[in-house]
A and B are shown apart, each in its own frame.
Chain A
Amino acid sequence: MLQGWVIASVSFAYLGVLFAIAYYGDKRADAGRSLIDNPTIYALSLAVYCTTWTFYGSVGRAASTGIGFLPIYLGPTLMAGLWWFVMLKIIRISKANRITSIADFVSSRYGKSQLLGGLVTVIAVIGIIPYISLQLKAVSNSFTILLHYPEIVMPAKAAAQPLLQDSALYIAMILAAFTILFGTRHLDATERHEGMVAAIAFESVVKLLAFLAVGIFVTYGIFSGFGDIFSRVESVPKLKSLMTVADTGASYGSWWSLTFLSMLSIMFLPRQFQIAVVENVNERHLARAIWLFPLYLLIINIFVLPIAVGGLMHFPDGSVDADTFVLTLPMAERQEALALFVFIGGLSAATGMVIVETIALSTMVCNDLVMPVLLRWKSLRLHEQHDLSGLLLSIRRWAIALILLLGYIYFRAAGEAYALVGIGLISFAAVAQFAPAIIGGIYWKGGTRQGAIAGLLAGFAVWSYTLLLPSFAKSGWLSIDFIREGLFGIALLKPQQFFGLAGLDEISHCLFWSMLANIGCYVAISLRVQPSVVETGQGTLFVDVFKRTAGAEGSRFWRGSAQVQELLPLIGRFLGPDRARASFLAYARQRGLSSIDALEANPDLVHFAENLLAGAIGGASARVMVASVVKEEPLGIDEVMNILDEASQVRAYSRQLEQKSHELEAATAELRAANERLKELDRLKDDFMSTVTHELRTPLTSIRAFSEILLEDPKIDLEERKKFLAIIVKEVERLTRLINQVLDLAKIESGNAEWHTANIDLHEVIEESVAATSSLFSDKRIGLDMALPGNVPKVRADRDRLIQVMLNLLSNAVKFCEAERGRVTVTLSAEEGEVRVDVKDNGSGIGEADQNTIFEKFRQVGDTMTAKPQGTGLGLPISRQIVEHFGGRLWVSSELGKGATFSFTLPLNGNGAERREERAEK
């Protein structure tokens, strides 16, 4: 028989030890030799995650769902892998902004919004109270069970006990007192509690040892090892099924959703945030926690299944609640000391959770709920009080007491409706609502205050409707009808089959709908609403925290004037005048100044003061308070953006400059090329003009010379006179021809030539051209062969122009053929889609190098030959222009000394001409 006083005194002794550790930890911290500046202690303190829910509840859950207890630990293990990215960022942000709680974090991110801070606080308090009541219930139950040692009696329903005999009430009171002692002994500027963290690390070790002790006792004392237990399980079908996941979609679904839920919880439970972020001494500690904390979870879970199946086999009749196996198994084996140790382990798990959770909540309630209201309440005349630090402390103390009281009330009211694990999951689902606003807030600059508020409200509403209200209904506070029939009897509104979504367990169901609503509202409204100046500033500080040096940046968003004589008393009112003076002095010394009076009230100091105050009353309230004593000049959104983006702008500018310079270089190169082209064109035009001039002057020279000769000398004999006049006539003809061709080419090139397009029979064109040049052939006695098939289709072209081309080709052929031996062949043929004409001669031929130049203006082959060829040098260029106008091609194939063949083609459909004309019209 264990006497109540024995249990009570061992419990108090244990709490005394915790308190001693905490006291020692605080002393060390004050002396500057931090006890918790140690990665192992940091990792152990994170194990505050394991509450009585783990200690007792895991076995209970394992007994009913087998390995279904695992997701609660898989989630954090997975999340720990991401800590180096996510948690490190949150820690860095929180240190830079002196974040005191998760509510403060959300409110700071979204423009230091008091509304958001308050909202997060309310959700956290409502969500966490069942969780706290769970701890009370566990401790009270274990106390009651232990009290009946060695008999195993399940505790009567809590509600059945008279209030004053209810151990849970006393436990709540003791925990409240203890938490107040731990957490609110003084106001710390950074809201850190080193002693408490040391004590939490210690209690993590105690609960682990206690659980391992039971595990080893059950596995190796009652049974003979893991193999023995699991081989026995094999023989009991009901137990065997516990070892696998039920093979249905829903059970995998709940595995996934529980894992996801606990991933979020390890980040966003207020106590986890408190320990992992606010109490963090050095962000490098995270590196060890990433593997040590999952290891802790693994170890504390090793014996869960053996204890669960051991219990099930030991108490096969079901008279003993599986949640109590951890305690009842040692009792059944009459292990008095072990049972007491287990009770202490459970107490340890409960106290750790309650202390950290209520401290975290009380900070939130005080900073984000009560202070903003009190500070607004002018009639309280808070502005006139010199020292508000006492007030702050008492608000927190009352908040702690109130939270525990609410936990107790929930415990009395909810009674036995839920197993431990069920209550815990309700809380998990509540804090999961913070995830979109926080995760979104640190990675997405576009998240806005309104979006976060909408998301939180929507998620919280869905959570309340699908999880909290049904839990009330199951506890008998509400009519169960609205669960069965849906609100107002509308089936779609059934809280656990919302919009007909059935087949999920209630947690997965709630998680699905609440996350959908939360994320949906957050994203949709964020995208619609333009963030304010402060939000933009804070958003960038949070998202880009790694890109900026901590601390100094914040002050750059502030502009105005302030007085040290006003700031110091303001801080003093909340922190206490002495503390404030000490902080200011430290700040002054840090800057190499000897006293506070030497401080300059610049933006840096204002920022320092606001941060100092934020540590005490939260970012949102601190901003309001500081704003009340300084004259602030509002910054425009442009200015904030300018400051924020200065660094990135400099980078962007240099990138832009680089780009611009590239563009300039490219443009310069283009311009240079264009200039070259223009110069080239200019040169060509110049050359052309010069050539034309030359070609005009040459005949004029003869004409002038002979005219003058004839004019001056009437005695020239008739023969010579005739010869000279003939030269004059010929040169005039040459001049005329030249002028006509130049004009013709200019007209074609400028697109002003007239074209008379019709269906042309090339047969006729060739015949006519040959007839026109027959005298040339007969003069030089050059033979002409023709191969003209009669069935060649007609082409669309200008008849006169084609004759012009043919005449040019034929006269060229004659020109380059030797007299008498020359032979010219004209061939007409129809090819695929086009008609082709070849004019072949056996003249001197054209070297490969000249085959392109002959189509240039005034480029006559023969320039370098002694015998100057006749003609203007414009015939081929003009011919090519004509043929190309009708969509055809004109080219030459030749070898020097072996004659030349000039060929041209014209398309049969005759579209070429129309195409060109259409284009010209456009």
Chain B
Amino acid sequence: MTKRILIVDDEPNIVVSLEFLMKREGFEVAVAGDGEAALREVEAKKPDLMLLDIMLPKKNGFEVCQTIRANPEWRAIKIVMLTAKGRDTEVAKGTALGADAYMTKPFSTKDLIAQVRQLLENS
């Protein structure tokens, strides 16, 4: 079964690159440009994994993460936080809120793919 990936980022170019990468790996891809759109997408069709930016319009990544983890039905969704703010406190905060992994921008595409695969295999 093809795994479904939801990309949440407000930078169009980053979205383009992530979309290309995920599709190339054979995943089904959905895209959201802000936090609220992301939640709508999740509700519409539950993804297996989210690539979640933190600095988002309307609802930031932390809030989105928190909302998802608060819903038992969505507990299985893997969340990879992506952020350009590489501070330790944010890594800790993301992990505490229930993110499964944390990648700092700019990331290595290889690492990202490896991380995504690993998370999906374990599930």
Contact = CB atoms under 8 A, between A and B. Distances in A.
B105 A698 contact: yes
A864 B55 CA distance: 10
A708 B87 contact: no
Nearest to B55: A694
Contacts of A713: 24
Given A705-B14, A709-B17, A694 B109 contact: no
Contacts of A868: 10-11, 57
B58 A701 contact: no
A705 B106 contact: yes
Interface in B43-83: 55, 57-58
Interface string A719-751: 010001001001100000000000000000000
What is the interface of chain B mostly: helix, strand, loop, or mixed? loop
Contacts of B17: 701-702, 705-706, 709, 724, 727
B13 A864 contact: no
A704 B106 contact: yes
Nearest to A723: B16
Contacts of B33: 866
B57 A700 contact: no
A706 B55 CA distance: 21
B21 A866 contact: no
B14 A702 contact: yes
A693 interface: yes
Q: Which of A703, A705, A730, A868 has the most CB of B within 10 A?
A: A705
A62 B107 CA distance: 122
A356 B105 CA distance: 112
A713 B24 CA distance: 10
A284 interface: no
B31 interface: no
A694 to B, nearest CB: 4
B85 interface: yes
Tell which of A690, A698, A712, A720 has the most Cβ of chain B within 10 Å: A698
Nearest to B110: A708
A727 B108 contact: no
Contacts of A921: none
- Interface size class on chain A is 20 to 34
A771 interface: no
A865 interface: yes
Contacts of B57: 863-866, 868
Contacts of A706: 13, 17
A690 B90 CA distance: 12
A712 B87 CA distance: 30
Tier of interface size on chain B: 20 to 34
Contacts of B14: 698, 701-702, 705
A694 B13 contact: no
Contacts of A696: 84
A694 B18 CA distance: 18
A701 B86 contact: no
A700 B107 CA distance: 9
B109 A705 contact: yes
B110 A698 contact: no
A677 interface: no
A866 B105 CA distance: 21
A709 B86 CA distance: 23
Contact of B105 (A697, A708, A724, A731): A697
A690 B34 contact: no
Contacts of A727: 13, 16-17
Contacts of B10: 868
Nearest to A706: B17
B113 to A, nearest CB: 10
Contacts of B21: 705, 709
A702 B16 CA distance: 9
Contacts of A864: 57-58
Interface in B7-49: 10-11, 13-14, 16-18, 20-21, 24, 33-34, 37
A863 B104 CA distance: 21
Contacts of A731: 13
A853 to B, nearest CB: 16
B53 to A, nearest CB: 10
Contacts of B104: 697
Contacts of A697: 84-86, 104-106
Contacts of B106: 697, 700-701, 703-705
B84 A693 contact: yes
Contacts of B13: 699, 702, 706, 727, 730-731
A713 B109 CA distance: 12
Interface string B106-119: 11111000000000
B85 A694 contact: yes
Given A697-B86, A698-B105, A700-B105, 9 more contacts: A697-B85, A699-B13, A701-B17, A701-B105, A702-B14, A703-B106, A705-B17, A705-B109, A866-B37
9 contacts: A701-B107, A706-B17, A708-B108, A709-B17, A727-B16, A866-B33, A866-B37, A868-B11, A868-B57
